[in-house]
């Protein structure tokens, strides 16, 4: 790609970013606003807050001959007006069903290419009310710019608290665990009276090694031959336009209800949300297919994990990082109707606890970067695509603020991130 500009080279694109570029994965983030769109105010906010805060928002991807054709990020001048889209929708469709009008328009974005001669992001403004908001703004950007965690962090860092406009929105309290997912227990004293504790400490390392070997073998088998059964969640590839079209639907849950279940079942918020998603997709499957309610279908999911070492969330918000820093866990995902709805949460708690005693999540990003570095972007992307096509669903999380915020002068009612370009369905939780 060649574009005319008078910019200077910043840095080469990371292996993960090159993989996202090759696969064509993009992020779509829907934001419901609590007020009608004041376009001049929002535009000024984009220019002063977002574009200046994240280098990728004023950079383009170019091929540099001095680096043997590897893409690099290059600074360029940004005209914010080129990144603002105000679509013209049928007034009758908007009046009859505004939610469906928003969903139809956002789904159409998955079929539209992005202009690669300018930074790969754009804002779409839908200035009509829905059941959850007064207006809707859709941010679409290429995944090579950053992951959902870095993008939502950018938006929070560019916002102000509704309670106090002089400060950033407050973030949830930091998690108890601030280190890696697997944290071995402390070694007990070397004395005869503590021999059982010492044996348990040694045994924990055997369990760690065994789980890591099993998880690694499953990942390799998935890339080579092990594939999930075909269900309605995996669309048959016909190499046509319909095979690339994605639909984006969001639902809001009461966080107080989620915390109540978390406390009662002694699990994590992530366990509750995975269980709720499993229950919803199971009910959807049996309602759409009419299969026997006693049928059980074993599928697998890829749970994306933020690999950034963060001590507190508030300090992370104040230092927005660039790029993608992701790892993943491959977890079972069963389609089944349970008599007890809480059994979905218990199942999620079991397999997530099991995954915490494995180092596979630490090896995944390292191996991925090595594949791209030593075998080339084509080979690395082929392997990633094989893994994605052999699994069914992607889970991802993004941490939002603990209070209402105002972005670019507009109160935000909700944010709903998602992605397209991957072969599986995606479930993103904020």
What positions carry a catalytic annotation? Answer: 143
Residue 136 lies in a domain: yes
- The pLDDT, as a whole number, for residue 397 is 78
Q: Which residues of 294-319 are buried (b: 16+ CB within 10 A; e: fewer)?
A: eeebebbbbbbbbbeebeebbebbee
Question: Of the residues 161, 183, 213, which one is the last residue of a structural domain?
Answer: 161
- What distances in angstroms separate CA 91 from CA 88, 126, 127, 132, 145, one per listed residue? 9, 12, 12, 19, 34
Question: Of the residues 161, 181, 203, which one is the last residue of a structural domain?
Answer: 161
Q: Which residues of 61-96 are buried (b: 16+ CB within 10 A; e: fewer)?
A: bbeeeeeeeebbbbbbebebeebeeeeeeeeeebee
Cα separation, 195 vs 188, in Å, equals: 9
- The pLDDT, as a whole number, for residue 6 is 42
Residue 153 lies in a domain: yes
Cα-Cα-Cα-Cα torsion 17, 412, 156, 18, nearest 10 degrees, comes to 0
- The pLDDT, as a whole number, for residue 318 is 54
199 and 155 assigned to the same domain? no
Cα separation, 325 vs 362, in Å, equals: 11
**CATH number for 388:** 3.30.559
Domain that holds residue 382: 192-399+423-429
266 and 386 assigned to the same domain? yes
- The pLDDT, as a whole number, for residue 388 is 85
> Could you write out the DSSP letters of every residue in 294-324?
T--EEEEEEEEEE----S-HHHHHTSPPPB-
Query: Residues 182, 324, 360, CA angle at the centre, nearest 5°?
Result: 30
73 and 212 assigned to the same domain? no
Residue 404 lies in a domain: no
Provide the whole-model pTM: 0.85
- The pLDDT, as a whole number, for residue 10 is 59
136 and 269 assigned to the same domain? no
Cα separation, 271 vs 276, in Å, equals: 9
Alpha helices by DSSP H, 145-251: 148-157, 195-224
> How many CB atoms sit inside 10 A of residue 430's CB?
17
- Ranges of the chain whose pLDDT falls below 70: 1-11, 14-15, 64-69, 174-185, 190-194, 235-244, 307-323
As for how many domains the chain has, the answer is: 2
97 and 213 assigned to the same domain? no
Query: Among 203, 217, 205, 179, which residue's Cα sits nearest to residue 360?
Result: 217
Query: Among 429, 392, 233, which residue's Cα sits nearest to residue 299?
Result: 392
| 318 within 8 A of 401, measured Cβ to Cβ | no
- The pLDDT, as a whole number, for residue 187 is 72
203 and 152 assigned to the same domain? no
255 and 384 assigned to the same domain? yes
| 121 within 8 A of 155, measured Cβ to Cβ | no
- The pLDDT, as a whole number, for residue 38 is 95
Cβ neighbours for 223, distance < 8 A, ≥ 6 positions apart: 383, 386, 387, 390
| 28 within 8 A of 404, measured Cβ to Cβ | no
Cα separation, 42 vs 32, in Å, equals: 14
pLDDT in tens, 46-96: 999 888 877 888 888 887 655 556 778 888 889 999 999 999 999 999 999
- The pLDDT, as a whole number, for residue 242 is 42
pLDDT in tens, 187-214: 777 665 567 788 888 888 898 899 999 9
- The pLDDT, as a whole number, for residue 191 is 63
**CATH number for 60:** 3.30.559.10
Name the DSSP letter for residue 180: -
Cα separation, 58 vs 47, in Å, equals: 10
Residue 179 lies in a domain: no
Cβ neighbours for 132, distance < 8 A, ≥ 6 positions apart: 32, 252, 413, 414
Residue 251 lies in a domain: yes
């Amino acid at each position: 790609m060649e574009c005319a500009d008078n910019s200077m080279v910043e840095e080469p694109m990371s292996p993960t970013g090159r993989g996202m570029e090759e696969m064509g994965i993009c992020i779509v983030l829907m934001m419901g606003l609590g007020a009608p769109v004041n376009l001049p105010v929002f535009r000024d906010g984009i220019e002063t807050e977002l574009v200046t805060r994240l280098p990728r928002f004023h950079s383009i991807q170019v091929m540099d001959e001095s680096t043997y054709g590897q893409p690099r990020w290059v600074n360029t001048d940004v005209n914010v007006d080129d990144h603002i889209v105000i679509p013209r929708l049928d007034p009758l469709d908007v009046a009859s069903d505004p939610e469906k009008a928003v969903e139809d328009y956002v789904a159409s974005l998955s079929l539209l290419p992005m202009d690669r001669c300018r930074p790969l992001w754009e804002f779409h403004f839908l200035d009509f009310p829905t059941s959850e908001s007064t207006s809707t703004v859709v941010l679409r950007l290429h995944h090579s710019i950053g992951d959902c965690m870095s993008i939502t962090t950018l938006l929070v860092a560019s916002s102000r608290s509704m309670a106090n406009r002089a400060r950033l929105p407050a973030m949830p309290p930091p998690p108890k665990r601030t280190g890696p997912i697997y944290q071995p227990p402390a070694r007990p004293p070397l004395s005869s009276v503590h021999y059982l504790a010492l044996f348990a400490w040694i045994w924990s390392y055997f369990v760690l090694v065994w789980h890591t070997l099993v998880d690694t073998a499953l990942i390799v088998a998935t890339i080579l031959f092990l594939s999930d059964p075909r269900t309605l969640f995996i669309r048959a590839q016909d190499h046509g336009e319909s095979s690339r079209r994605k639909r984006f639907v969001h639902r809001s849950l009461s966080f107080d209800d989620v915390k109540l279940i978390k406390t009662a079942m002694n699990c994590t918020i992530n366990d509750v949300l995975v269980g709720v998603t499993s229950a919803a997709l199971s009910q959807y499957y049996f309602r759409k297919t009419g299969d026997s309610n006693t049928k059980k279908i074993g599928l697998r999911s890829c749970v994306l994990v933020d690999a950034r070492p963060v001590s507190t969330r508030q300090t992370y918000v104040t230092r927005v990082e660039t790029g993608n820093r992701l790892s993943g866990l491959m977890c079972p995902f069963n389609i089944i109707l349970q008599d007890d709805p809480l059994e979905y949460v218990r199942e999620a708690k079991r397999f997530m606890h099991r995954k915490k005693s494995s180092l596979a999540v630490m090896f995944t990003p390292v191996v991925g970067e090595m594949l791209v570095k030593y075998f080339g972007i084509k080979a690395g992307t082929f392997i990633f695509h094989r893994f994605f096509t052999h699994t069914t669903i992607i889970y991802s999380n993004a941490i939002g603020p603990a209070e209402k915020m105002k972005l670019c002068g507009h109160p935000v009612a909700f944010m709903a991130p998602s992605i397209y370009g991957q072969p599986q369905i995606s479930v993103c939780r904020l």
